[in-house]
Amino acid sequence: MADGWDDRSRTINHTLFTQLLMEVRFQNSPGETSRMNTGELRSNFLFEKLMQDDAINYVYSHYDRIITGGVKPVSESVELVNHAELRAEYFLERRELGIINVGGAGTVLADGTSFSLEKLDCVYLGKGTKEVRFSSADKATPAIFFLISAPAHHTYPNTKMTKEEASPVNLGEPSTSNERTIYKYIHLDGIRSCQLVMGLTVLKNGSVWNSVPPHTHTRRMEVYFYFDVADNQRVFHFMGEPRETRHLIMANHQAVVSPPWSVHFGCGTSNYSFIWAMAGENQVFTDMDPAPVTTLL
């Protein structure tokens, strides 16, 4: 289907207003990807409709078995519903979960503990957390929760971190159009996890390039979620092997999965922000294989 949700999707009605949708996607090789047309690239790598009112949507990717999700509670709270595909008693029985709010004020209720999240705040939920619900403080300005989940084999404590606590780092310069602030939440020196690494980047006015110089890291996959993209603007996200690049044109609140062998960088028609989330063999943020722009094809 044109919107990326194909016949493999499984839909379960949860309540009158809440619907659970999880699409399962398998891996693609570099050679296969190099021969894809625009529609095939979008249906395999782009997640177009994560955020829908009073719903929770998932995409299960076989790249490191990451689940990417979106929750936008408007009229009622929304439960982190389990899915039959997981063969688990509850969603986080064998998984951990990273959550960042990119909308209005909201709350994550986890096993009776309430975490209030303003825009750009993060909460980590560890393996074994059974009951999770998402809600907004004001339906006129609903919270918008981006989710990333990975398999876990150890329980780390549920933890909240505000953007002010995320040790913001300013990088880039106007001459290269990439002035930006990086916030690291889930990483070796921040919120501890089994394998998740998660943070976000905010580009300043007049800056449009992200993740330059480009790189790959074959030990980890990555997901980008673009937000604060104006309705009449777009982000050109580049992917593929460094010498066999492709691109996807992305709108607000869309996500893209980056295979371990792929570059992942982009340029917008205006400034924007994006969440980056990784899982794989290690959690070392600096573990990257550079692909200088002069070598790209």
Residues 56-77: tens digit of each pLDDT: 999 999 999 999 999 999 999 9
Dist. CA 229–CA 251, nearest whole Å: 7
* Inter-residue contact 112 to 125 (CB < 8 Å): no
DSSP state of 51: -
Question: What pLDDT does 275 receive?
Answer: 98
End-to-end CA distance of the chain: 30
* Inter-residue contact 60 to 95 (CB < 8 Å): no
Residue 1: count other Cβ atoms within 10 Å of its Cβ: 8
Question: What pLDDT does 21 receive?
Answer: 75
Question: What pLDDT does 15 receive?
Answer: 34
**Residue 37: burial class (beta carbons within 10 Å; 0-12, 13-18, 19+):** exposed
Question: What pLDDT does 285 receive?
Answer: 87
Quote the pTM value.
0.92
Question: What pLDDT does 20 receive?
Answer: 57
Question: What pLDDT does 27 receive?
Answer: 95
> Taking the domains of the chain in order of start, what are their residue ranges?
10-158, 164-295
| Within this chain, domains 10-158 and 164-295 share the same CATH topology | yes
- The SS3 of residue 219 is coil
Residue 257: count other Cβ atoms within 10 Å of its Cβ: 24
The CATH class, in words, for 164-295 is: mainly beta
pLDDT tens sequence across 203-231: 999 999 999 999 999 999 999 999 999 99
Specify the DSSP element, H or E, that contains 125: strand 122-125
Query: Strands 215-216, 289-290: parallel, antiparallel or unpaired by DSSP?
Result: antiparallel
The CATH class, in words, for 10-158 is: mainly beta
Q: Please list the pLDDT of the chain residue by residue as tens digits (297 residues).
A: 334 434 333 333 333 233 457 899 999 999 999 999 999 999 999 999 999 999 999 999 999 999 999 999 999 999 999 999 999 999 999 999 999 999 999 999 999 999 999 999 999 999 999 999 999 999 999 999 999 999 999 999 999 999 999 989 999 999 999 999 999 999 999 999 999 999 999 999 999 999 999 999 999 999 999 999 999 999 999 999 999 999 999 999 999 999 999 999 999 999 999 999 999 999 998 899 999 999 999
